[in-house]
Amino acid sequence: MLYILYGSDDYSRSQALADIKKSLSDEISADINIKIIDGATVNINEFQVTCETVPFLADKRFVIVHGLLERFEAKKKSAQTKNNNRRIDTNNEWQRFADCMKRLPVSTVLVLVDGEIDKKNPLLKYIADVAQVKEFPFLKRREIPDWIKKRVAQSGGRISAPAVEMMAKLVGNDLWAMENEIDKLILFTAGRIIDENDVRTIVSHAQETSVFSMIDAIMENRVSSAQELLQHLLQNGAMPAYLLTMLGRQLRLAILIKEMISQRKSKSEIQTKLVLADFALQKSMEQAEKYPMLKLKMFYEKLLETDIAIKTGKYDDELALTILVVELCQQ
């Protein structure tokens, strides 16, 4: 049996992987029949031996491979055409992995786990017909409230509609953080309905996420949304200096990522260079691709002007930040 779990939402990927493992618990019998492989470095011989090894005193052997599909993502052409020969070798390599997977013994359950993958990925296309393929993109904004309600219900809790909306706005589609905040709220409310005040009191996550949302609102000239997010952050203890720093950091990341994309850097190279978690990387890349470089740089310069205005005493820091948000929304 072959499964392919891929997509940007690593929370849902992990849940799906856990469900598969749980369903096989009786057949696997012991951890000795579970093997985890780094797909970025494994060679075909090691892979084949692992897949064809007979389970020890059990019916099934469970093999998990992280990053194998990404290894065969098409690379954008660079000025150095020396990659031509390497491309031929790579094609031959993925073909060998694919052929091995199409000959899996019935005793092996193989799961390929990857992040965001192009549907034109050669390995994915070749083995999709013999696999159970599940894609896990980030939830869309409109899908988050339903996910919250379902997750609260699964945990035996209840939540009001306004509280759901507030949770969606504060935490966004970072489902790891959302799960953690929901668990805290259920413990805090002890059986009663979770309301907006509970969310304000308990949800500590994602000032960073709110900054992402505020930048989106600013860039899209949604003045009321940007002001509402700013006021929420301030009311919940975020210092103006911190918010200014976070705004500057996020704009700087978007500029750097946009520049690295123009240099044909891969997503993994960008993540390694900037040391970003999956969610922060995804949001930063979305903003880098969504907004023109000129606008990003102009906003960053405006941010510096505000910082100077605060440090020279021209404006109170909170007032300066409020004026900044309004001015940026009007650009």
Q: End-to-end distance of the chain based on CA atoms, in angstroms?
A: 55
Q: What is the pLDDT of residue 237?
A: 62
Helix (H, G, I), strand (E, B) or coil at 121: coil
- Indicate where the chain has its CATH 1.20.272.10 domain(s): 208-329
Helix (H) or strand (E) holding 38, with range, is: strand 34-38
Q: Where in the chain is the domain with CATH 1.10.8.60?
A: 141-205
Q: State the CB neighbour count (10 A cutoff) for residue 116.
A: 18
CATH number of 141-205: 1.10.8.60
CA atoms of 35 and 105, how far apart (whole Å): 15
Asked if 168 and 148 count as a contact pair (C-beta separation under 8 A), the reply is yes
C-alpha neighbours within 13 Å on the C-beta side of residue 144: 23
The answer to whether 181 touches 198, Cβ cutoff 8 Å, is: no
For the segment(s) 2-135, the CATH number from 3.40.50.10490, 3.40.50.720, 3.40.50.300, 3.30.70.20 is 3.40.50.300
Highest CATH level, class, for 208-329: mainly alpha
Q: Can you give the pLDDT at residue 236? A: 63
Residue 192 is predicted with a pLDDT of 94
pLDDT of residue 65: 94
pLDDT tens for 84-140 read: 444 434 557 899 999 999 999 999 999 999 988 888 899 999 999 899 999 998 888
Q: List, for the chain, all residue ranges whose pLDDT scores fall below the cut of 70.
A: 75-91, 172, 204-209, 236-238, 277-279, 331
Alpha helices in 190-266 (DSSP H): 196-202, 207-219, 223-235, 240-262
